[in-house]
């Protein structure tokens, strides 16, 4: 019987039992892909990570699973894994190898040496117009979008719909069955101004429903806002998410670029480790 040890972290929060839950299996060597997928379904979190030896110049390789599928990249699993590994390794920066390439995470510590914040340099997303806007708006139950509806792909596809107010975002009641038919990983409704933005991300295709904190969407959101003149390139935004499902979260995002061209994307936040355990499998 093998013992597979895991750590549970709440990510994009500094308060336990809020933020986005993450299970990190700290030694995924010898675990078959079908077992990884079954364990991700068993935990029931939006993502589960398996840590493996690095294959290139990184500190470790990670595989990321939703309850239904494997993702090449995702934000809160990458940041949360850096918190889990950074403590015992006593590192201030880690490079994690993902299916979308290496992602560097810089960690900040308080006076006691505890990791309190991390910033990751994300893959630069590709951008395309979304070609079925009217049907998407109908599935969301909203009248329109204040900005062009576009799809950003950084290893995860996210579509963005801009609503007139934070109250309008909170009031969205999507038809999840209709959203599933689009085949999208994430549909994001957002509103705000200046540095403060509220977002909700719906992902029925991955068995998640609504996500508590979506790091892979926060960076593209900063890109979207800068590309369409709502913020300046290089301006950091503060994104709140998850209140509607009882998991309030806070994300920080910044995009560098010029005009419509994206040069770099950075997303940061806190995380807290809340549990440790093991699965015993034959």
Q: What whole-number distance in Å separates Cα of residue 161 and Cα of residue 187? A: 8
Q: What whole-number distance in Å separates Cα of residue 230 and Cα of residue 45? A: 33
Torsion sign across C-alpha atoms 136, 142, 148, 153: negative
Q: Which long-range contacts (CB under 8 A, 24 or more apart) does 166-174 make?
A: 166/191, 166/192, 166/198, 168/142, 169/198, 169/199, 169/200, 170/198, 170/200, 170/243, 170/244, 172/140, 172/141, 172/142, 172/200, 173/141, 174/139, 174/140, 174/141, 174/202
CA dihedral 246→250→251→252, nearest 10 degrees, is 170
Task: Please indicate whether residue 278 is annotated as part of the active site.
Answer: no
Q: Are 96 and 62 in contact (CB under 8 A)?
A: yes
From the list 47, 97, 150, 210, the catalytic residue is: 47
Residues with active-site annotation: 47
């Amino acid at each position: 019987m093998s013992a597979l040890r895991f750590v549970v972290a709440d990510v994009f929060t500094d308060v336990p039992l809020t933020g986005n839950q993450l299970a990190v299996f700290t030694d995924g060597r010898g675990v078959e892909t079908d077992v990884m997928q079954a364990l991700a379904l068993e935990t029931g979190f939006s993502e589960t990570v398996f840590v493996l030896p690095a294959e290139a110049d990184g500190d470790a390789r990670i595989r990321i699973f939703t309850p239904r599928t494997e993702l090449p990249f995702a934000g809160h699993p990458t940041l949360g894994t850096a918190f889990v590994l950074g403590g015992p390794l006593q590192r201030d920066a880690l490079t994690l190898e993902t299916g979308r390439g290496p992602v560097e995470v810089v960690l900040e510590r308080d006076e006691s040496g505890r990791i309190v914040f991390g910033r990751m340099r994300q893959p630069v997303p590709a951008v395309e117009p979304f070609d079925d806007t009217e049907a998407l708006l109908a599935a969301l139950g909203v009248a329109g979008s204040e900005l062009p509806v576009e799809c950003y792909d950084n290893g995860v596809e996210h579509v963005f719909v801009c609503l007139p107010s934070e109250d309008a975002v909170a009031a969205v009641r999507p038809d999840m069955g209709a959203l599933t038919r689009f085949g999208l990983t994430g549909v994001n409704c957002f509103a705000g101004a200046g540095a403060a933005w509220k977002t909700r991300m719906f992902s029925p295709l991955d068995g998640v429903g609504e996500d508590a904190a979506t790091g892979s969407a926060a960076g593209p959101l900063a890109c979207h806002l800068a590309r369409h003149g709502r913020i300046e390139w290089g301006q950091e935004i503060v994104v709140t998410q998850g209140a509607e499902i009882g998991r309030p979260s806070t994300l920080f995002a910044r995009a560098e670029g010029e005009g419509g061209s994206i040069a770099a994307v950075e997303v940061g936040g806190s995380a807290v480790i809340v549990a440790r355990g093991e699965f015993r499998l034959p």
